[in-house]
Chain A
Amino acid sequence: NAGVIQTPRHKVTGKGQEATLWCEPISGHSAVFWYRQTIVQGLEFLTYFRNQAPIDDSGMPKERFSAQMPNQSHSTLKIQSTQPQDSAVYLCASSFSDRVGNTLYFGEGSRLIVV
């Protein structure tokens, strides 16, 4: 069975440009989560979807960051006007449902570098 697939694995973008990251969750999983990982902050929750509907985006920076899930097989995280502090590894995870007892399974992440 394929795990969570994230593309691109690496992306270098210039300051002020837009970056879009893609995630394909495990087939049959109804909950999709986005996390960001940096050396300083560690693993931070950004947002999550249940059955494609946005449920909680409390971890998302209010400006420039947006996430969508147009269908059950993929989600996108878009960062507009990227800044150096957006450099991080962005991780997508999915779980069978968003009930707390369910395990999250992570992709390999997308490393974003803003120069």
Chain B
Amino acid sequence: AQKVTQTQTSISVMEKTTVTMDCVYETQDSSYFLFWYKQTASGEIVFLIRQDSYKKENATVGHYSLNFQKPKSSIGLIITATQIEDSAVYFCAMREEDSSFSKLVFGQGTSLSVVP
């Protein structure tokens, strides 16, 4: 069964610095999709970035990028030049290609605080 683990419960960083959030996953499938979402203070869950397992190149969107290490089953989220408004809870999630249905499984989340 698929499983997603985020071991960092909370992180605090100074504004304008770079932060990396860790995520490891378990799957028996050779093809899968990894996603990062951000949950704001209002509760809204916003899609940020994704990595397809068959792609070797790390995904990048704006100031978000991924560190995909397939042999380690790891998908880290890197936020560069952090801003106060990046403060939120970040969730890693996975969907397996070969599942009989396409359930998205989430990690427990990492709370990020960006301070001035």
- Chain A contacts to B: CB under 8 angstroms: 31, 33, 42-43, 45, 48, 55-56, 58-59, 89, 91, 93, 98-109, 111
Q: How far is the CA of A103 from the CA of B99 in the complex (A)?
A: 16
B32 within 8 A of A: yes
Report whether A45 and B52 are in contact in the complex, using a CB–CB cutoff of 8 Å: no
Q: Report whether B47 and A105 are in contact in the complex, using a CB–CB cutoff of 8 Å.
A: yes
Task: Give the complex CA separation of A41 and B99 in angstroms.
Answer: 22
Interface segment among B11-19, B64-72, B79-87, B101-109: the answer is B101-109
Report whether A103 and B50 are in contact in the complex, using a CB–CB cutoff of 8 Å: yes
Contact A56-B103, Cβ < 8 Å, known A106-B37, A108-B44? yes
Give the distance to chain A from B36, nearest Cβ to Cβ, in Å: 11
Return B22 CB to nearest CB of chain A, in Å.
Answer: 16
Query: C-beta contact mask, B15-52 vs A, less than 8 Å → 1, else 0?
Result: 00000000000000000110101000011111100101
Q: Say whether, besides A89-B43, A91-B45, A103-B35, A98 and B108 are in contact (CB < 8 Å).
A: no
Other than the given A42-B107, A100-B99, A108-B43, 16 more pairs (CB < 8 A) read: A43-B106, A45-B103, A59-B103, A89-B43, A93-B104, A98-B101, A100-B32, A101-B33, A104-B35, A104-B104, A106-B37, A106-B45, A106-B46, A108-B44, A109-B43, A109-B44
Listed A/B pairs (12) with beta-carbon separation below 8 Å:
A43-B106, A56-B103, A59-B103, A98-B101, A98-B102, A100-B33, A100-B96, A100-B102, A103-B50, A108-B42, A109-B43, A111-B43
B21 to chain A, nearest CB (A): 15
Query: Nearest-CB distance from A41 to chain B (Å)?
Result: 9
8 interchain residue pairs of minimum CB distance: A106-B45, A43-B106, A100-B95, A100-B102, A56-B101, A108-B44, A109-B43, A98-B102
